[in-house]
A = this chain, B = another copy of it.
């Protein structure tokens, strides 16, 4: 079914082949062998995301704007009048968690909830004049931030990265959407709790 595009041969880089651990743990102090983590998209995605977000947060610190807040401002700015549930779904944020996030922006006078005439349950979202002005400034910061990534990867690498990341959209099905509140489901697993109780690490 899925064997059309890739040779899918080498998923056996390190661990499966060389199952014997090389360093004995004495003078191997500088470099740690990441094993399969070095070929693990999840691990590398997480690490890269943390690094990029760190630069983002530092860049936007003067404006006191977090990544999620910036995302909302961008979406609302380019899609005025959308409902909360539409914006939150576009950002894979559950509508229940979207409420305080929107609050933080509305309290600062950047975004406005307006009553939707057609459906009085929903709120149409718009940027305020202040929000629009701030977004213009934030876009400058964002350009500087993104340019640093381009400088790190090269422009072609940066373009490739964006294309590949877009290819992983809705891969695992972790959307943050609500799926009609789900409701009737078994309570899953009993959970493995772990409380620490004084453990002096006996000798080996």
A72 to chain B, nearest CB (A): 10
Q: Looking at the complex, which one of B34, B104, B145, B204 makes contact with A114 (CB distance below 8 Å)?
A: B204
Number of copies: 2
A151 to B171, CA, bound (A): 11
A45 within 8 A of B: yes
Asked if A196 contacts B103 (CB within 8 A), the reply is yes
Given A74-B36, A126-B204, A192-B104: A6 touches B158 (CB 8 Å cut-off): yes
| A174 adjacent to B104 (CB under 8 Å) | no
Q: Which of B51, B90, B155, B168 contacts A168 (CB 8 A)?
A: B51
B residues within 8 A CB of A145? 42
User: Count of chain A residues with Cβ under 8 Å from any Cβ of B?
Assistant: 116
With an 8 A cutoff between CB atoms, is A170 at the interface?
Answer: yes
* B45 x A147 contact (CB < 8 A): no
Interface residues of A (CB under 8 A from B): 2, 5-9, 11-12, 14-16, 21-26, 28-29, 32-56, 58, 61, 64, 67, 71, 74-75, 77-82, 86-87, 90, 92, 99-100, 103-104, 106-108, 112-115, 123-124, 126, 139, 142-143, 145-158, 160-162, 164-174, 176, 189, 192, 194, 196, 199, 201-204
Closest 7 CB pairs of A and B: A25-B81, A54-B174, A6-B155, A54-B172, A55-B172, A114-B204, A44-B165
